[in-house]
Every structure is written in structure tokens, then in C-alpha cells.
Structure 1
Amino acid sequence: MSGLTARIRTVEGWPVPNAVLTVTDMSGRQVARAVADETGAVATEPLPPGVHTAVVTAAGYQPMARTARTSAAGTSLLGDIALAPEAGAVTLPPPGPWTIDPMHSTVIATARHLGIASIKARFAEVSGRLDIAERFEQSTGYAEIGAASVDTGIELRDNHLRSSDFLDVDVYPVIAFTGHGLRRTGSDTFVMPGELVLHGKRRQIDLTLTYGGYGDDPWGGVRAAFHAETELHRNDFAIDYNAIVRAGVAAVGATVKLDLDIEVVRGEQLPAG
């Protein structure tokens, strides 16, 4: 049997998954806590009869407090609770297709070098799209990175990274990511879970996103900006080269951080010119 039940939604009527319902008694002591499911539904265990305070919180939204009177059976129904965006929340981009602009996007991989310094590699070739849904959290994305475009500024090292010891670009020319939805973590921060295909291996990863806003550009288009981060482990992708020095190139660490600064242009394709 459930105790206090509610359905958590945005002011537009969309469910708010992972919203937290906390219930306290009149002395302020917490008596229950529950997390909303994908539909926004939330239910506690049966509560002591009497008057309680119910507080609903969710990342990116203003908290909401309600008074609930539970029956002798320990149940109470709050019904629909609408959460408003927290103060200062950014305006999200309009729904529809958005295309990655490779000229204004960068992908940087950073790895430890002999455990004492960092190597940064830029991938010059990036393309893809972001499909913004009516409910922003249902948006999806796809990106491709040209593996052979890796550039650390040292030709010998770049050729080694392209070789079968590392990226093996002749066999696996594309690094691809497909994102499935967004999970809000703040007013302008989200997590996008998805599948990364690298070196012939498929792995589930999370991209941590920071949304930078959107607006008109000088060329008659509309642009939005995102910064994304994730951390990869070479062994997960069968890139397990461990020699300290080979062909004059020092070993790259096992953990690689990816930073992506992405600009997308509204529409199915980039504007001409």
C-alpha cells in the first residue's frame, strides 16, 4: 500500500522524472522520501496519520511545498504538482533539427603523458545533428568524428595515434556517438546517455552537457551552443598499447578525457557559404 502519492510535472504538463518528494512531520523530522519515476509519479510508504509537510525538489526547478493530511490508513493524495523553472533558468532552443557547424566546433582529447604531463589532441573533423524535441529532455543527438583528423602538433606522434596501436583509422575511420534523451541536473546542465562507437567497440557512456544559450547569428541563421565532457578508458575500446616507448613516441595514459564545444545551426543543413 502506498502512503503519500503525487504526480510531478512541469508547468507545461511534462513529467519530471527523478523529482524527489520529502515528507516531514510537524516537528520537522523526515518520515519519508521517494523519487518520481519516468512518468513523474511518486509514492511513499504508508505514513503515520496526521498532518505532514511534503516538499518536492528537482534539478533546475523551484522547490514546491504542500501540506498533506494522512488518513488513519496512512494514505494521502497530493494530485498533480507543477514545478516552475528555477530563477535565472535559461531559455531552451526551439524544437526541430539542428546541424553541427564543424567550423565553429572543437573536439579535444586529453591524456596523461608518462603520468607526469598531458597530451592534447584536436580532432578537426566533426559533423552531426541534434534533434530538439517538444519536451527538451526527449531530444536526441548524433555526432561523427573523423579519426584520422587527430592532431597533437607532432607529426610522428599523430601518425602513431592513427596506426593500429591506437585508433587504427584505416579500419575504423569514424568515431560515432548516438545520444538518447537528456537528464536535467541544473538550470543549464544535463546528462545525455548514449552509445559511443570507437575502434570497432560499442560502449554506453554519459555526456555531461552545459547549455550556453541560443540566438541569431550574423549570417541570417539561428545558433545554439553546448559544452560536453566525458571520460573514456582505452582498455574499454581494445586500445591497450602499454609500451613506454615505441617508434620514438612515449606512451599515452589509459584514461582519456573528451571536451566538445559544439555549435549547432537550426535546420536540416548548414547555410550555403
Structure 2
Amino acid sequence: MPLTARIRTRDGWAVSHSVVTVTDATGTQVLRAEADAEGVVRDTTALAPGAYTVIVTAVGYAPAAASSIVTASGRAEVGTVTLARQGGTELPPPGPWTVDPAHSSVAAVARHLGISSVRGRFTEFAATVEVAPDDIAKSRVEAVIRAASIDTGNGMRDTHLRSADFLDVERYPEITYRSTGLTAAGSDRWTVHGELAMRGVVRPVDLDLAHLGTGADPWGGTRAAFRATAELRREDFAMNYNQVLQAGIAAIGTTLRVELDIQAVQGASLPAA
């Protein structure tokens, strides 16, 4: 087994579709091999002792190069080669991911009386993420929120928020978000472009998204964590109700800050509890 190598992302995940090319001191290609499903290259081609350059490529990743010395025994152990996403951006492994609502939060914050904030959250929602294998910009997000699940910790206020003055949940029971594109904003940050449908109005809304990491969970699955924020104007979604106090201060601010703390599980559906 003259050549062995392990191809990984920065998070330690296998890059199963990577290709290893080996050139000798003259730049001549002497070997080309593909990684297996575990991101491991094992090739039995006999190589003459000497110095070689190992180039690793994979669609969606920046190429990486490493040096290797073939000993007199004919073995060459390259070790682990780490690939970075093209453009320096990192995402979880490609494929479908399902948001776990039990370990996620969809919250909104509004100014109250001009001096403090009121925080609410939606307790019923579902969402999926599709990480594109070749072009990050083609990754997709879709989410559905039950509007009536709004919870601010005050029953009277929640009833008002469900009324026609605000969410109008009888006529518009669902709030939906569908992404239309993704733009890199740093090594682990993106701007998600999408359309938010709420109260019968569809508006473009961008999410500032950060990937917080990916790893194994105690139930045998793989999880990825994200945090996203956005700002909405209530008037953009026909929520024009307001009460103006004697001092001319609006009781409820016109701008909402949306805060999403998300855990997604690898796969098209959540595993059984």
C-alpha cells in the first residue's frame, strides 16, 4: 500500500469526492486516485523512492498541496490533508439537514415605551436546510412557523398579537421563509437572501447567519449549530397598529429584531426520540 492519505474539512469531516494527484520532482504526474466514502485514499501503485508533491482537489474546495517522501520500502504516508471551502467559507457536510425545534429558538424583540424591550418566541415551527455539495450559493433554507404559537409570557398580550391588529392568525395561520441565495460574508458567516411571507405579505428579508460548529450528538447523529439575526419593519407586513402615549412615544416600536438559535440534524428527517 505505497500511498495513503486522509482528506478532511476544517471541522474534521471526510471529503469523499476528493481526488489526489501525485507529481515527481520534474512535475510529471505519476499517480491519480480518488478518496473513498471515508475520505481516505489507498493506492497500491509502486512509486520509486524520492520526493513527490501531492495535490488534493475537490469540487467546492480550494486545492491543497503537500509534500511526501517515498522511502526505500516504497511506502508514502501523506497523513491528513485539510481542505478549505472555496472562498474560505465553511459549512456543514453537504446534503439535507432538519432543524430540531426542541433545541432551537425563533424569537423576536420589540421596543416597548421607548425605554425597554419585549421578547417573544414562536414555539411551533419546522425547517429544512440543504447544503449544496458544489456551490455554497445554491444551498437552500425553508421554514414554516405557526403564527398562533407566539408566546411573550403574557396571555392578554399574546391574544392581541394573534388578532387582526398584528399577526391575524385566523386568516394567515403560517409564516414562511424560503431562501433565494447565499452570499459569503466571512470564514464562517453568510448573508442568506430570501422571502418572508407573513400576514399575507411577501417581502425580501436577509438573514445574517453564523455557523457555530458541527459535531456528533449523544443520540448517534450529527448536528450543526447556527445563529441568525434580521430586522423587520412591522409596516412592511401591514401591521400598522400602534398606541401613541401622551409624550408622543409609541408604545410598541416599529422595528422588530429577529433572533434565531438553530440546531439542525443531518438527514431529511429527525431521528426517533
TM superposition shift of 1:158: 0.6
Question: What stretches of structure 2 of length at least 5 have no aligned partner?
Answer: 1-14, 16-61, 63-82
Quote how far apart the aligned CAs of 1:91 are. 4.8
Q: CA deviation at 1:157?
A: 0.5
Which position in structure 2 is the counterpart of 1:18? Answer: none
Report the counterpart of residue 113 of structure 1 in structure 2: 112
Separation in 1, partners of 2:195, 2:151: 24
Deviations 1:225-272 (A, max 9, x none): 110100000000000002247xxxx83211000000111111111001
Q: Considering only CA atoms, is the larger Rg found in Structure 1 or Structure 2?
A: 2
**Counterpart of 1:192?**
192
Is the aligned partner of 1:99 residue 2:98? yes
1:11-50 correspondence to structure 2 within 5 Å: none
Deviations 1:202-241 (A, max 9, x none): 0001000000111111101111111010000000000000
Task: Encode CA deviations 1:97-136: one digit per residue, 9 max, x unaligned.
Answer: 1011100110110001121111100111121100110122
Alpha-carbon distance, 1:137 to partner:
2.4
Question: In structure 2, how many angstroms separate the alpha carbons of the residues matched to 1:212 and 1:260?
Answer: 12
Work out the number of aligned pairs and report it: 186
- Which residue matches 2:253? 253
| Aligned partner letter, 2:209 | L
Q: Deviations over 1:27-46 (max 9, x none)?
A: xxxxxxxxxxxxxxxxxxxx
Structure 2 CA distance for aligned equivalents of residues 114 and 256 of structure 1? 14
Q: What is the CA-CA distance between 1:181 and the residue it aligns to?
A: 2.5
1:206 equivalent to 2:206? Answer yes
1:180 aligned onto 2:180? yes
Give yes or no for contact 1:85–1:187 (8 Å, CA) kept in 2: no
Runs of 4+ in 1 over 3 A off after TM superposition: none
Distance 2:90 2:193 in 1: 22
TM-score (norm. length: structure 2): 0.65
Q: Is the 8 A contact 1:111 1:120 kept in 2?
A: yes
1:91/1:213 contact within 8 Å kept: no
Aligned counterparts of 1:94 and 1:203: Cα–Cα separation in 2: 30
Q: Does 1:150 align with 2:150?
A: yes
Cα distance in 1 between the residues matched to 2:152 and 2:210 = 26
Structure 1, residues 130-158: CA drift from partner, whole Å, max 9, x if none? 01101222201001111111111111101
User: Structure 2: how far apart are the matches of 1:189 and 1:91?
Assistant: 8
Q: Which residues of structure 1 form unaligned runs of 5+?
A: 1-11, 13-60, 62-83
